[in-house]
């Protein structure tokens, strides 16, 4: 396969297609295992009065808790099998997304299982599905995305020109455009920042974007984060945005004889690490430190939206520390430990019934929107207190995280000129109030 073919296969992989199939080669093996957490966020236009939303609107905008997925791809003698495990218990009896405990898909079909291991659904093929039979070249590159970024931009642009597909280049970015009467598709690849994004427009209205961010580990390129943004309408006909962010927590690739090619975790380069047990947990967790730490440390528990729901300051740090999580609602959480200038994190799932510490949700409006160099944040209530203010883009990159005093119901942020053009969330939180809004930066 030439470099153009490798790039196009990489694009197909990002869009959810299988790698090239062909005749299987006996004895070839490849294993890919990873864990991800997915968070879903909702937002409505900033000029919409929150008080005008109906109870039915609010049901549609209910924030979904993040969920974990553990995936395993195994190739034996050229045949691929895929196993996904979902650790969470159901939120309620007929919640299909959380009811499923495990799925297995291979050449014989798909089987779904409950959390207790009993079979839930079985769709079997009468014959072997050869889409799951991979040739030697597909197996050798499986789990890696080097082919997506190894082709020269000039070669891809020349290929696109030869088939009548417009392609534009600026710096290390390539934009491919497919357009007809009603739809426009843009495929953007950044060969330096290592991301791939597909955007879909219908009648000049943005309806969907899929972005995949990658990272280099050794000589390989592996996934880092996937972000999907799409739009829908509330019962009140207000258009709202849905953002799903899937973040990789680990990524491991093995080859022949179980040789390890990549074994990546976010904490692998940290001077210390923490583990949380049990996981899932009910009323308490045990935080275990990898080594004895001198001096004080700060422990925070953050929910799926990165809001701090529990915090403790330790004057001395034991090797094992017990934390009471009875007050937390069920869902995905992250324990963050800060010691001197170092940070370690570990995630866990809380089961059972609980309640977040009480905070009043306050309406927020950002003016002007779109913004240029500065913004004013208007609150629906009089605050007169310090709030932690964060500005985060749709990829989860944090640009501002500072405490600021809110006088009355207004907060001025005098300089946002450093923000790249795009969409952002502003989060304002303290022990009494919490609120967020989205704005655009030109």
What pLDDT is stored for residue 394 in this prediction?
A: 62
> Domain limits at 304?
274-350
Residue 102 lies in a domain: no
- The answer to whether position 384 is within a domain reads yes
For residues 304 and 396, membership in a common domain is answered with no
Q: Could you give the percent of the chain with pLDDT greater than 70?
A: 80
Indicate if 283 and 344 belong to the same structural domain: yes
The 3-state secondary structure of the chain, one letter per residue: CCHHHHHHHHHHHHCCCCCCECCCCCCCEEEEEEEEEEEEEEECCCCCCHHHCCHHHHHHCCCCCCEEEEEEEEEECCEEEEEEECCCCCCCCCCHHHHEEEEEEECCEEEEEECCCCEEEEEECCCCCHHHEECHHHHHHCCCCHHHHCCCHHHHHHHHHHCCCCEEEECCEEEEEEECCCEEEEEEEECCCCEEEEEEEECCEEEEEEEEEEEEECCEEEEEEEEEEEEEECCCCCEEEEEEEEEEEEEEEECHHHCEEEEECCCCCCCCCEEEECCCECCEEEEEECCCCCCCEEEEEECCCCCEEEEEEECCCCCEEEEECCCCCCEEEEEEEEECCEEEEEEEEECCCCCCCCCEECCEEEECCCECCCEEEEECCCCCEEEEEEEEECCCCEEEEEEEEEECCEEEECCCCCCCCEEEEEEEECCCEEEEEEEEEC
pLDDT at 264 exceeding the cut of 80? yes
Q: What is the mean pLDDT of residues 245-273?
A: 80
198 falls within a domain:
yes
Q: Are residues 245 and 322 in the same domain?
A: no
Both 292 and 419 in one domain: the answer is: no
More confident position, 57 or 302: 302
Task: Give the pLDDT score at 416.
Answer: 87
Degrees, nearest 5: CA angle 198-200-201? 150
- Quick one: tokens of 325? 């999580």
Same domain? For 54 and 165 the reply is yes
Give the residue with greater pLDDT, 116 vs 337: 337
Q: For the domain that residue 366 is a member of, what is the CATH number?
A: 2.60.40.3080
pLDDT value of position 8: 52
Q: Is residue 260 part of a domain?
A: yes
What average pLDDT does range 163-173 have in this prediction?
85
Is residue 294 one of the residues assigned to a domain?
A: yes
Give pLDDT tens digits for 357-379.
445 667 888 888 888 888 999 98
Tens-digit pLDDT profile for residues 83-102: 988 876 554 444 455 557 78
- Is 30 in the same domain as 160? yes
- Longest CA–CA separation in the chain, Å: 72
Q: So what's the pLDDT on residue 98?
A: 53
The answer on pLDDT for 417 being more than 80 is: yes
Mean pLDDT check: name the lowest of 169-178, 267-276, 418-427: 267-276
What is the reported pLDDT for 274?
84
Question: Total domain count for the chain?
Answer: 3
Say whether both 149 and 282 belong to one domain.
no
What is the per-residue pLDDT across 185-235, written as a single tens digit (0 to 9) for each? 888 999 988 988 999 888 878 888 899 999 988 889 999 988 888 887 777
- For residue 82, the model assigns a pLDDT of 94
Higher pLDDT: 7 or 121? It is: 121
- Name the domain boundary from 230, 264, 298: 264
Q: Are residues 149 and 254 in the same domain?
A: yes
| pLDDT at residue 175 is higher than 60 | yes
Same domain for 188 and 211:
yes
Mean pLDDT value across the chain: 78
Q: Which two tokens stand for residue 425?
A: 């969330």
Whether residue 247 lies inside any domain: the answer is yes
**Residue 86 within a domain:** no
Domain boundary among 306, 327, 350: 350
**287-325 tens-digit pLDDT:** 878 777 788 899 999 876 677 889 999 888 877 788 888
pTM, two decimals, is 0.56
Residue 283 has pLDDT above 80, yes or no: no
Q: Please tell me whether residues 224 and 289 are part of one structural domain.
A: no
Among 213, 241, 264, the domain boundary falls at 264
Same domain, 279 and 250: no
| pLDDT value of position 73 | 93
> Both 210 and 285 in a single domain?
no
Looking at residue 177, its pLDDT comes to 86
């Amino acid at each position: 396969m030439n470099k153009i073919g490798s790039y196009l296969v990489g694009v197909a992989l990002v869009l959810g297609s299988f790698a090239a199939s062909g005749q299987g080669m006996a004895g070839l093996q490849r294993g890919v295992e990873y864990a991800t957490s997915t968070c879903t966020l909702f937002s409505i236009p900033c000029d919409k009065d929150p008080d005008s939303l109906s109870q039915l609107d609010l049901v549609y905008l209910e924030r979904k808790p993040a969920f974990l997925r553990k995936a395993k791809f195994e190739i034996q003698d050229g045949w691929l099998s895929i196993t996904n495990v979902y650790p969470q218990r159901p939120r309620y009896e007929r919640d299909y997304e959380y009811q499923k405990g495990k799925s297995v898909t291979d050449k014989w079909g798909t089987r779904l299982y409950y959390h207790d291991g009993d079979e839930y659904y079985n769709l079997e093929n009468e014959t072997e599905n050869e889409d799951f039979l991979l040739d030697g070249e597909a197996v050798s590159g499986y789990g890696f995305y080097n082919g997506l970024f190894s082709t020269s931009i000039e070669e891809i642009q020349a290929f696109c020109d030869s088939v009548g597909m417009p392609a534009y280049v600026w710096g290390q970015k390539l934009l491919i455009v497919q357009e007809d009467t009603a739809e426009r598709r843009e495929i953007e690849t950044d060969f330096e920042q290592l991301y791939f994004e597909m955007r879909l427009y219908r009648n000049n209205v943005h309806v969907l974007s899929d972005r995949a961010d990658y990272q280099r580990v050794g000589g390989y390129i592996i996934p880092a984060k996937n972000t999907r943004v799409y739009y829908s309408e509330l019962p009140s006909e207000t258009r709202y945005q849905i953002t799903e962010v899937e973040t990789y927590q680990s990524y491991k690739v093995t080859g022949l004889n179980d040789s390890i090619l990549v074994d990546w975790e976010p904490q692998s380069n940290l001077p210390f690490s923490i583990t949380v047990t049990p996981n899932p947990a009910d009323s308490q967790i045990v935080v275990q430190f990898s080594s004895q730490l001198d001096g004080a440390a700060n422990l925070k528990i953050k929910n799926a939206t990165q809001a701090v729901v529990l915090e403790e300051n330790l004057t001395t740090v034991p090797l094992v520390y017990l934390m009471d999580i009875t007050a937390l609602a069920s869902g995905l959480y992250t324990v963050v430990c800060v010691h001197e200038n170092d940070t370690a994190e570990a995630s866990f799932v809380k089961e059972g019934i609980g309640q977040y510490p009480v905070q009043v949700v306050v309406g927020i409006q950002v003016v002007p929107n779109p913004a240029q160099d500065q913004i004013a944040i208007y609150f629906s209530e009089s605050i007169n207190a310090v709030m932690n203010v964060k500005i985060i883009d749709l990829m989860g990159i944090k640009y501002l995280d500072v405490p600021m005093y809110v006088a009355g119901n207004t907060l001025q942020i005098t300089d946002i000129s450093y923000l790249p053009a795009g969409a952002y969330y502003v989060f304002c939180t303290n022990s009494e109030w919490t609120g967020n809004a989205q704005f655009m930066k030109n």
